[in-house]
Amino acid sequence: MKSSKIIFWIIALIVAGLVVYILVDSLSQPGMGRFEGKFQELADYRNENNTGPVVRIYAVKALDNTRDWMRDYGDAMPHTKYGKTIVFYFSDDMDQKISLSPTEPYFAKGIQPHVIATYQKSPMGDVSFIEGYPK
């Protein structure tokens, strides 16, 4: 009888330890706050289709145009399975209003020269990060 109580408490401690570990690990993940002061969102578009592919397009002013930071920002943006996410990074001298559309060229051609990089995540999750506007 005593040995079964000891086994019960050992298993209970192991389960409690695992729950604490999972909670701490889940709550300590880096959030979007790490990009504070590096990017400014200019515009975003998301189609209303919740049953098919979801298209997300973001226009972002890159205050810090370090390639690694831009890639990390794109990776942190929401993505839906079988959907498409595109992030256009504009130079920090961009001050025009941007209106995004779900089809190419996504915004007015006159502001394409201000795009310094483009991040794309395909419907299957493949990532593409290129300099400038895609051709």
| Average pLDDT per 10 consecutive residues for the chain, totaling 135 residues | 87 96 87 77 85 87 86 88 90 85 86 91 89 82
What is the overall mean pLDDT for the chain? 87
Centre a 10 Å sphere on the Cβ of residue 111 and count the other Cβ atoms it contains.
Answer: 17
pTM over 0.75: yes
pLDDT tens digit sequence for 60-76: 998 887 888 889 989 88
pLDDT of residue 125: 84
pLDDT of residue 13: 96
pLDDT of residue 1: 64
pLDDT of residue 118: 94
Strand-pairing partners, residue 84, are 55
| Structure tokens, 103 | 């089809």
pLDDT of residue 79: 86
CA atoms of 102 and 106, how far apart (whole Å): 6
pLDDT of residue 21: 95
| Structure tokens, 96 | 């025009």
CA atoms of 81 and 92, how far apart (whole Å): 31
Instruction: Give me the phi and psi of 53, to 5 degrees please.
Output: -65, 130
Q: Order of strands across the sheet with 115-121?
A: 39-46, 55-62, 84-90, 115-121, 127-131
pLDDT of residue 132: 84
